[in-house]
Amino acid sequence: MRALLLSLIVVAVLGVEGTAPPAFGAAAAATAAPGAAPLPGASGCLYVANLLENTVSIVDTTTDTVVATVPVGTSPDAIALSTDGGRFAYVANYGSNDVSVIDGSVGGVIATIRVGSGPAGITTASPNVPLLWVADKNEHAVAVIDTTTNTVTTKIPVSGSPEGIGIRRNGGTLYVTTTGPGGSGSVVAIDCATNAVMATIPVPARPNRISLSHQGTFAYVTNFGAFSISRFDTTTNGVTGPAIGLTLKPAAISVTPDDRFAYLASVGSFSVTIIRTATDAVVTSIPVGTEPAAIAMQRGSPYTYVAKFGSDMVSVIARNRRNTVVDTIAVGHGPFAAALGRYAYCRMATPTPQPTPTPTVGPKCIGDCNADGVVTLPEIMQLIHCFLIGPLDQTGCPDCGVPAGIGVTVPVLVQAVNNLLNGTCGPR
């Protein structure tokens, strides 16, 4: 039965994607073993949200070792760091409707902030502005949090379902990707001083992530439902040209600290694509491994960190002419979001025992569509149907314990089948 179900999944995948995993090239072959020798110039702490086990791995990048594994809420979906260089990590937990506040210097959660339904995106402001914004996808609003008190001070209503969120370097304008009726896409520009909507920028279907340039002059948006990315000018709040077409659904994008390139991860891919921002042209692709889902980099670090949802690893890419993978880091189950801080607060961490998170109502694992704690064959078939028609939030596709923003993918289907055959609800 296991072989039959897995064969059905493989057939469905090949029929839709039309391609098999590419062979790894020299960059992948040169990958160092986890915990290799310290990398020249590496600094700071890397925070990785492990969506399928409800934890965050804290990595000391000077040694590429995990120094703490911190339990958080259900389905950690996004991470933002405090503007002091990353002592505090704010983790949006999509399944438990809250934000976990991690102090990297102690390696534990120091506060939990209740927000709206389905927090899917999160960002902090510029230095000296103690505010945090959270995109509550199922509540059609953006929550504003005062980080001095860790309380929600107001909520900004937006049209559609917000997901990706970013802020200009000067802290004056917030940008939020939203999906409206029928999957229509837009980016909403919000004045941070007045919380008023300044402009609505049309983009293709189901935009999910956004990355602003470090000078704050342009931004890229991943259009999950349209197999494309869009670029817009933040001074005019208008798109700068037609969307850039892709062969796979984009999952994450991040502009390099010098604004010269953007690194793109796509669902179902085995590589990261590099785009030259001066021309919006693809420069190269770097083999990294199964299902890259998040990209993290920071000014002062010559490395890019790629969280791979399908292999529970992080690839470390040296940003140079060769763009080679120089190390891999083993993290938790289902790494889905990542953020890199400038300073190594995590070297001071002394992990302390963490309380078990309070169970929440909803699917107890991947494939548990009716939230009864058991995965059945009809539920597996429902997931395969969702895989074939596209993003999980389309009509007819319930939660089923699947990561928000990434939809039903091959690793998700395999995990659901394992939960069915093992007779237990494995990791959520």
> Could you read off the pLDDT of 221-231 as tens digits, one per residue?
999 999 999 99
Mean per-residue pLDDT, 341-350: 76
pLDDT of residue 128: 75
Asked if pLDDT for residue 161 goes beyond 90, the answer is: yes
**CA–CA dist 266, 250 (Å, integer):** 4
Chain segment 219-277, per-residue pLDDT in tens: 999 999 999 999 999 999 999 989 999 999 999 999 999 999 999 999 888 999 999 99
Chain segment 164-195, per-residue pLDDT in tens: 999 987 768 999 999 999 889 999 999 999 99
Asked if pLDDT for residue 389 goes beyond 70, the answer is: no
Which structural domains are found in the chain, ordered by start?
A: 2-20+361-422 (no CATH), 31-348 (2.130.10.10)
Lowest-confidence region among 18-32, 60-74, 290-304, 325-339:
18-32
**CA–CA dist 95, 85 (Å, integer):** 28
- What share of the chain in percent tops pLDDT 90? 58
pLDDT of residue 317: 95
Higher local confidence (pLDDT), 79 or 357 = 79
pLDDT, the chain, mean: 83
**CA–CA dist 375, 307 (Å, integer):** 27
pLDDT of residue 1: 37
In sequence order, which residues have a C-beta less than 8 Å from that of residue 403 and are 6 or more positions away?
51, 52, 75, 77, 94, 309, 334, 336, 412
User: What global pTM score does this model have?
Assistant: 0.79
Chain segment 125-137, per-residue pLDDT in tens: 877 788 999 999 9
| 2-17 and 377-389 helices, crossing angle to 10° | 10
Q: How many helices (H) and strands (E) does the chain have?
A: 4, 29
Lowest-confidence region among 19-23, 309-313, 344-348:
19-23
Q: State the pLDDT confidence band at 68, using cuts at 50, 70 and 90.
A: very high
Q: What end-to-end distance do the CA atoms of the chain give, in Å?
A: 23
pLDDT of residue 393: 46
Rama region for 268: left / alpha / beta (φ>0; ψ in -120 to 50; rest): left
Mean per-residue pLDDT, 339-366: 66
Distances in whole angstroms, Cα of residue 75 to Cα of each of 55, 72, 119, 302:
9, 9, 10, 30
pLDDT of residue 362: 57
Asked if pLDDT for residue 288 goes beyond 70, the answer is: yes
